[in-house]
Structure 1
């Protein structure tokens, strides 16, 4: 194989490339919590016994192999009190101590103690002639282990993978040139599968999935996400007036407009496949799940649509003014209105369970997370409501003007306001961090992964870290004030007072078959 050494123990011919790979590995070992400091030192010098004892290897001096046995082990106190042995040609005697082999690094794996010992015996030439002592911390070796032995050929495969999995793909490419053993390990599917899932990524896979290619596609997608350098933009042409709301998944993009229609677009070709008519005024909000879609309108009603047939199931009127926001849970439909109330409607029979009142003005946006409803009001308050009792259990105060949008997760609440700021609230303490950057009303907030996506009447979409650092600002793509922007792993879909939603596709140029497999 080009660029690979001819034998499993020999290194790549380029000294500098080998040195770079070894330096990266040395830095890597300092990050491993499972090994002792002595064990990490051993890796830097060559290889390490699984239980923490160090043996010579890369870079060891040839003079270190002498007639005097040298014991290298973690229990330094014992070696300090033992006088050096006189030179002898006799076979060193084995010291009988505790047979226990313990290692926090190996405790995660299901190997039995006998399997550990058998592996050491076969891989490390474990014999009375070579081993001069054992301690609680592991097995000690004389200093004449063959030069060039490395951890890939010594350690269990799972541990080697755990080490390699901490490197990025560029470093792995360099490490694959070290030897045939390293190349074989680094190009194996189990390693790339482990790296894929340890990033909390998700995919629908097939039996013969190439995990290395799938990982590289997802890695590049993560690098390109949120930047316009590699993104392609698309516009959805079809609505006759401003587009107020949207939601999308892998298959479809759904938009609602002032032209009183809802359009369903193909998420790959961006072709309009369905036009849904039913509202008598602007469609201001919508949300769907696998079974139903709910849309809210300026005609004071919500319409429940069947997601399979795309036909209306029921029109429900519980508000006395415009319906500004809707959301769904497995049991309920939630809606809020300019009339200052939040309505909780049962999905089973579409009857009203709660009507929540408490805001001194319109309720602009709602979000349901767990057992609570979160609302953003024109009175500048963020409220938390108990779904079990229908009572307000907490107010979050901080905005100086009306709150326009809200989103929550398990720890945080994020809200945007007409005071041009974003606030990131701690659910428990009620304290907030202020994010400043928009120059006009912050109209929508979306939480994706560890990012906050905000859109504003200042014609910009901004992407922030969850800690509040501004990463990028997308401007110049819309002809009117931004209404909403929602994101997933590949796209940001945005709508505005203009007629055409704009899509930022960060997966442009990547393999379509792999993008189709990636779900998170």
Structure 2
């Protein structure tokens, strides 16, 4: 072998960069991915080096490979300026970015608040408009918190107590599922009912959602007899009673009776209030040709009772159907008071009579007064108290028909009285009011102060209010008989009084209606209600209804004193007005005749509107014979008898119904929920079928009526 060193040439040792690339293939591949920009200059060839001395071993002990001869490394060429710029201009890898963000988060979380603010301020200064918009879009939702999402239900309900508009409830329930869940809770609607001061929810039988299911088409023989039909139509109703009960039974099987909730209760009450403001319908109207003066009107849950100065008392149901006329008084009836089915009346014949309004029977005729009975009140179901022009009050046991006690002390006619518990307060034309004990018959106190006759009185157990011809209203303390306040403002007789809680409403012959606060004894509203005397006055928690001798009936807002609307058409004079939550009765004089109008403000029942109310669509009123008798005669047709034309109206209406030919029944179709009733008359028989969407419930033949 040639030993000449010149012939033993070897490559120089690799540079530091080459060694790193050899030892780190991953780094080499990483740099390869970044492109050839970093290696734009060719690598120079290895530099030759001198040979290894002869006396030096060619390999290190323990080494498997021969070692290259030692030589100083040759420096690698430095990258140029262009190479440096390309390296820093490249985007960072995903791993490097994650590492930087992780480190920044750690550092940022360790800063105090001021340092964080300074850091964020510096970052924001580096952002352009696009980034600032994105930052706003990102930060804005985080600054908003849904209270219903983070707060417990108890606090959510507390927030809802500040909402009094149900439309806000409806709109809010559409925001999200959580909002709908909270607003659908019955507690939320209970709070809204309390906010609107709606009365407490009644039982299921009386609730708006179950009233029809509880009553059905004919809840009893009395309602069937109230339909105002006679002859063939009445017998048809009787035979078909079980038929319609079967319909109702199937209907209840298909759809369970809905549960009464505060939401349904609020919905019902809200619709009633809305109807009082701009709705309602007149469901009955009766006219009498005689010129009898209406002396009394009472509206109860079952009856409308009208007393006249021609000695007659007419009893209607709450739909306006005439039930009966109570005849027995020899002269005009000037006082009456109902209690359930019992009616106590008194008049110019000096008798006090006890009636059963369900049967029309006169139970007792109580005699003792020596002049006209002017006022009557009931202490309980068995006790009535009457006041007369003979200056006395008499306490009657109406169950046994005997006189229990006579209260004497007034010096003139007893014009008005009021009862609370065991106490009765009477007002007289002798300008005094007296407080009596019902149980003992003793006069406890006499209230002096008025300068003229007392015409009206109110008593709630803690206060007594009296209205007088001297134009003043006085408030008395029943415990010691002192006058607490004198309310002045009327310019004529104060003949109408009603007290409810801390509110007193008065009406005078000057045509004004005034609302007073019994806490401060100051006027709240002064209403120029009528052009002449206020003849009737009543109010509840929401409204005032007044009637005047100018022939107008007006409804006022109790809270702000504004006029809501005028009810009914103007008349010559309004005798009496009475109302309850969903009904109103107006007795007025038109063209020398007494007219009674019954107004209904109840909302249409969702499930039974087609069965309980005649439709206004053409041809949809052909089945009136199966409907409750509220499709009464609405036209002002003259009557020939001397009574209210309730019975005659029903009779004429019945004759018109029975005179209809069978062709009118061909179009009779009535929808009842998912059940449809179809009447198809034949030559001699009428086919009646009931069909549901998927099943035929019943089909049978019944005799056809002409």
Give the TM-score range, shorter chain: 0.5 to 0.7
1:430, CA displacement in angstroms? 3.1
| Contact 1:444-1:454 at 8 Å conserved across structures | yes
Which secondary structure does the structure 2 equivalent of 1:431 belong to? strand
Q: How big is the shift at 1:360?
A: 1.5
Determine if the alignment matches structure 1 residue 335 to structure 2 residue 393.
no
Counterpart-to-counterpart distance in 1, 2:365 and 2:456: 25
Question: RMSD over aligned Cα, in angstroms?
Answer: 3.9
Asked if the contact 2:583–2:601 (Cα under 8 Å) also holds between the matched residues in 1, the reply is no
For 2:109 and 2:488, the matched residues in 1 are separated by 66
Q: Cα distance 1:448–1:490, how it changes in 2: closer, same or farther (>3 A)?
A: farther
The aligned residue for residue 293 of structure 1 is: 343
- Residue 389 (1) aligns with residue 440 (2): yes
Q: Is the 8 A contact 1:482 1:496 kept in 2?
A: yes
Q: 2:179 aligns to what SS in structure 1?
A: helix
Distance 1:433 1:224 in 2: 37
Alpha-carbon shift at residue 426 of structure 1 (Å): 4.6
1:262 to 1:149, Cα distance in 2 relative to 1, 3 A:
same
Give the Cα separation in 1 of the matches to 2:597 and 2:110.
73
How far is 1:283 from its partner? 0.5
Q: Distance in 2 between matches of 1:364 and 1:260?
A: 20
Residue aligning to 2:328 = 278
Shift, 1:457, TM fit: 4.8
Q: In structure 2, how many angstroms separate the alpha carbons of the residues matched to 1:470 and 1:390?
A: 39
Partner of 1:247: 298
Q: Say whether residues 1:477 and 2:543 are aligned partners.
A: no
- Does the CA-based 8 Å contact 1:491-1:503 persist in structure 2? no
CA distance in structure 1 between the partners assigned to 2:598 and 2:358 by the alignment: 27
Pick one of 445, 449, 456 that aligns with 2:497: 445
Quote the Cα distance in structure 1 between the aligned partners of 2:279 and 2:474. 30
Q: Distance in 1 between matches of 2:513 and 2:597?
A: 15
How far, CA to CA, are the matches of 2:112 and 2:597 in structure 1? 69
Is the 2:472–2:486 Cα contact (8 Å) retained in structure 1? no
Separation in 1 of the partners of 2:493 and 2:572?
13
Q: Which residue of 2 aligns with 1:314?
A: 364
Match of 1:40 in 2: none
- Specify which structure has the higher proportion of helix: 2
| Cross-structure match for 1:218 | 269
Aligned to 1:201: 199
TM-superposed CA distance for 1:345, in Å, is: 1.1
CA contact (8 A) 1:286 1:296 kept: yes
State the match for 1:410 in structure 2: 461
1:424 Cα deviation from its structure 2 partner: 4.2
Secondary structure at the aligned position of 2:487 is classed as strand
Q: Distance in 2 between matches of 1:501 and 1:262?
A: 15
Residue 187 (structure 1) aligns with: 184
Within 5 Å, give how 1:90-129 maps onto structure 2: none
- 1:360 is the counterpart of 2:411: yes
Matches of 2:574 and 2:413, distance apart in 1: 20
How far is 1:501 from its partner? 5.9
Q: Does the aligned pair in 2 maintain the 1:365–1:405 contact within 8 Å?
A: yes
CA distance in 2, matches of 1:332, 1:382: 21
- Provide the rounded CA distance (Å) in 1 between the counterparts of 2:175 and 2:586: 48
Give the structure 2 partner of residue 153 of structure 1. 149
Change in 2 beyond 3 A, CA 1:221/1:432: farther
Asked if the contact 1:340–1:359 (Cα under 8 Å) also holds between the matched residues in 2, the reply is: yes
Aligned to 1:500, which of 594, 599, 610?
594
- 2: CA distance, partners of 1:271 / 1:278: 22
Counterpart of 2:354?
304
Deviation, structure 1 residue 298: 0.4
Q: Given that residues 293 and 305 in structure 1 are in contact (C-alpha distance below 8 angstroms), is that contact kept between their aligned partners in structure 2?
A: yes
Q: Is the 8 A contact 1:258 1:283 kept in 2?
A: yes
- Cα distance in 2 between the residues matched to 1:461 and 1:309: 41
Contact 2:316/2:323 (<8 A) preserved: yes
User: Alpha carbons of 1:289 and 1:402: their partners in 2 closer, same or farther (altered >3 Å)?
Assistant: same
CA deviations 1:194-226 (Å, max 9, x no partner) are 43256250333244236435314424545775x
Match of 2:487 among 434, 437, 462: 434
Q: 1:410 offset after TM fit, Å?
A: 3.4
CA displacement at 1:372 relative to structure 2: 0.5
CA distance in 1, matches of 2:175, 2:109: 29
Q: Deviations over 1:212-248 (max 9, x none)?
A: 35314424545775x7x65767765237300001111
Aligned counterparts of 1:327 and 1:355: Cα–Cα separation in 2: 15
Q: Quote the offset at 1:454 in angstroms.
A: 4.7
Structure 1: state its 5+ residue gaps: 1-64, 71-83, 85-145
Note the C-alpha offset of 1:443. Answer: 3.2
Match of 1:172 in 2: 169
Residue 419 (structure 1) aligned with residue 470 (structure 2):
yes
How far off its partner does 1:392 sit?
Answer: 1.8
Deviations 1:266-306 (A, max 9, x none): 323x3333211110000101111114110011000011011
Question: By how many angstroms is 1:391 displaced?
Answer: 1.7
**Secondary structure of 1:215 counterpart:** helix
Instruction: For 2:425 and 2:280, locate their aligned partners in 1 and report how far apart those are by CA, in whole Å.
Output: 34
Instruction: Find 1:346's aligned residue among 397, 401, 424.
Output: 397
CA pair 247-447 structure 1, distance change in 2 beyond 3 A = farther
Structure 2 CA distance for aligned equivalents of residues 445 and 66 of structure 1? 75
Whether 1:488 aligns to 2:580 is: yes
What does residue 644 of structure 2 align with?
none
Distance 1:264 1:177 in 2: 50
Describe the shift of the 1:197–1:413 C-alpha distance in structure 2 as closer, same or farther (beyond 3 A): same
Q: Which runs of 5+ in 2 are unaligned?
A: 1-107, 115-141, 211-257, 530-545, 553-570, 610-706
CA distance in 1, matches of 2:503, 2:603: 22
Partners of 2:371 and 2:606 in 1: CA distance = 47
CA distance in structure 1 between the partners assigned to 2:321 and 2:360 by the alignment: 17
Aligned-residue offset at 1:456: 4.8
1:163 equivalent to 2:159? Answer yes
1:379 corresponds to 2:430: yes
Whole-angstrom CA distance in 2 between matches of 1:274 and 1:68: 92
**C-alpha distance in structure 2 between counterparts of 1:495 and 1:366, whole Å:** 24
Q: Structure 1's 360 and 370: CA in aligned 2 closer, same or farther, altered over 3 A?
A: same
Q: In the alignment, does 2:419 pair up with 1:325?
A: no
Query: How many angstroms apart in 2 are the aligned matches of 1:218 and 1:394?
Result: 43
